[in-house]
Amino acid sequence: MAEKKPLKQYLMIPGPTPIPTRILAAMNHEMIGHRGPGFSKILGEVIEGLKWAYQTKNDVMVYPCSGTGGMETAVVNTLSAGDKALFVNIGNFGERWIKIAKVYGVDVIDLKVERGKACDPKTLEAELAKDKKKEYKAVFMQQNETSTGVINDVKALAQVVQKSHPDALIEVDAVSGLLAADLKTDDWGLDVVVSGSQKAFMVPPGLAAVSMSAEAWKAYESSKLPKHYWDIKNQKKFADKGQTYTTPPESIIFGMHEALKMIQEEGMENILKRHETNKNIVRSGVRAVGCRLLADDSCASPAVTAIFPPEGIDGEKVRSEMRRFGFELAPGQSDLKGKIFRIGHLGYVDYMELVATIGALELLFNELGTKVEIGKGVKAALAEIK
C-alpha cells in the first residue's frame, strides 16, 4: 500500500495551509476594475475584517507580497540608517528580520535566544537595561517563530519594553501567529504588526498586511530609509480612497474577503481554542510514538510543532517517506535541517487530520525499525480532543 501514489494530500506545513472550498470558490471570480467602486467596497471590508483579527483601531494596509515583504515594510517605514534597534531572535525568522535591518544599515542589537526557547521577559529586561541612554528606537520580535515552533509571550515582552523604553516602537511579526494565538494589538500597545494571508487566514499566499499605530506614523515622518514599493504613507493615501498603490492581487483579496467572514462567524475564542487543541493533539501523539519535542510545553506554538524523530531516524527521511502516505511535512531550517521535522497545524487543519498524521508516523516508524506499539500514538492524540 505504502508504495503506491497516495490518493489524497494532507498539507501539514506551517503555511500555506489547506484552503476551504468556500474560499476557493470565492476566488473563482472574474477580475474587476481595481480603481472602481466595486473593488473599493470589497477592499474596505477586507481592511475592517483585518482590524477585527488584529484587535486594533490602528490603520492596516495590505501589500501584494509574501510575509517577508511585510517584515521589510516594517523596517523601512520606521527607521533610518544608524538607528539602534533590538531584535528578539528566537529562530530563523528572527535572523531574517536582522538580515533585512542590516541590509538597510540599521544598528542591530541581536538578542539571540537558545533555539527551542522563547525569550524570557527577564532576559529582555536585562538587555534593555544595558541601553542606559535609551537609544533603541524599536524592539522587533516574532509572535510565533515558525522555524522552531515556539511562541513568545508578546504581552509580557511588550510590557517590559514599555516600562524600560516607553519611546521605543514595538514591532511584531505575527505572520504565523495571528489567529493561532491571541494578539491584542491595541491593548498590548503593539506599534507595527505584520501578517500574511497563507497562515491562519486559510487563504493562498500573496498578500501581507501591516498595521501602524500613531507612534509608528510619527516614526515614519523621521524615517529616512529608502522606500517606494513598501512606502506605507503612499499605500495609506490609496487606502483612504479604497484602493492600493499598485495593482492588487484581486483573487487573493476575494479569498481574504470570504475568509474574514468565515473567521468572524467562527469567533476569536473558538479559533484560538481550536489551535490550542491542535497543538495538544500533535504533542501528545508524537511523544507517544517516541519523538522528542524541540520546544518546552511552556512556550509551545499552537501553529507548528518541531519534532526530533526517534533515535537513528533522519528528519528529512521522515518527510520524504511520509509523502508515500500523502503527508507533506515541513523541514528543519538552518542548523536544524535533518535533525527535526515540523508539523504545521494552523489554519484549515482538522483534529482528525492530525490524528491521521500520528497514525501514519506510527506505521512509518515501525517500517524504519523502531518498535512502536501501533495505536499508542493515535490513542494519546484522540485523548486530547475534548
The window from 33-41, 135-143, 274-282, 297-305 that contacts a copy of itself (CB under 8 A) reads 33-41
Q: Is the peptide bond before 16 cis (omega within 30 degrees of 0)?
A: yes
Q: Is 229 in the site for a copy of itself (CB under 8 A)?
A: yes
Q: Is 247 in the site for a copy of itself (CB under 8 A)?
A: yes
- Tell me if residue 211 falls in helix, strand or coil: strand
Phi, psi dihedral angles at 173 (to 5 degrees):
-85, 100
What is the Cα–Cα distance from 104 to 2, expressed in whole angstroms? 50
Asked whether residue 319 is marked as a ligand-binding residue, the answer is no
Instruction: For strands 327-331 and 341-344, give the pairing.
Output: antiparallel
The window from 59-67, 260-268, 289-297, 366-374 that contacts a copy of itself (CB under 8 A) reads 59-67
Q: Which is nearer to a copy of itself, 200 or 225 (CB)?
A: 225
Among 49, 177, 249, 290, the residue binding a copy of itself under the rule CB under 8 A is 249
For the chain, strand residue ranges (E) read 10-12, 59-64, 84-89, 107-112, 136-142, 144-145, 150-151, 169-173, 192-196, 207-212, 292-293, 304-308, 327-331, 341-344
Q: Which is nearer to a copy of itself, 237 or 292 (CB)?
A: 237
Among 11, 53, 168, 289, the residue binding a copy of itself under the rule CB under 8 A is 11
Among 59, 72, 171, 258, the residue binding a copy of itself under the rule CB under 8 A is 72
Shortest Cβ distance from residue 221 to a copy of itself (Å)? 16
Q: Is 251 in the site for a copy of itself (CB under 8 A)?
A: yes
The window from 127-135, 201-209, 266-274, 295-303 that contacts a copy of itself (CB under 8 A) reads 201-209
Among 47, 65, 260, 289, the residue binding a copy of itself under the rule CB under 8 A is 65
Shortest Cβ distance from residue 373 to a copy of itself (Å)? 30
Q: What angle, 0 to 180 degrees and rounded to 10, lies between the N-to-C axes of helices 250-266 and 268-288?
A: 90
Instruction: Evaluate whether 32 touches 350 at the Cβ level (below 8 Å).
Output: no
Shortest Cβ distance from residue 117 to a copy of itself (Å)? 25
Shortest Cβ distance from residue 64 to a copy of itself (Å)? 5
Residue 122: all three cell numbers together:
527577564
Instruction: Evaluate whether 32 touches 38 at the Cβ level (below 8 Å).
Output: yes
What is the Cα–Cα distance from 132 to 122, expressed in whole angstroms? 17
Q: Is 6 in the site for a copy of itself (CB under 8 A)?
A: no
Which of 90, 152, 164, 86 is closest to 125 using CA atoms?
164
Q: Is 228 in the site for a copy of itself (CB under 8 A)?
A: yes
Burial class (CB in 10 A: 0-12, 13-18, 19+), 95: middle
Shortest Cβ distance from residue 88 to a copy of itself (Å)? 19
What is the Cα–Cα distance from 211 to 236, expressed in whole angstroms? 11
Q: Is 330 in the site for a copy of itself (CB under 8 A)?
A: yes
Residues tagged in the binding site annotation for substrate: 342
Residues tagged in the binding site annotation: 342
Query: Residue numbers of the site for a copy of itself (CB under 8 A)?
Result: 9, 11, 13, 15-19, 24-25, 27-36, 64-69, 72, 99-100, 103-105, 196, 198, 204-206, 225-229, 245-252, 255, 323, 328, 330-331
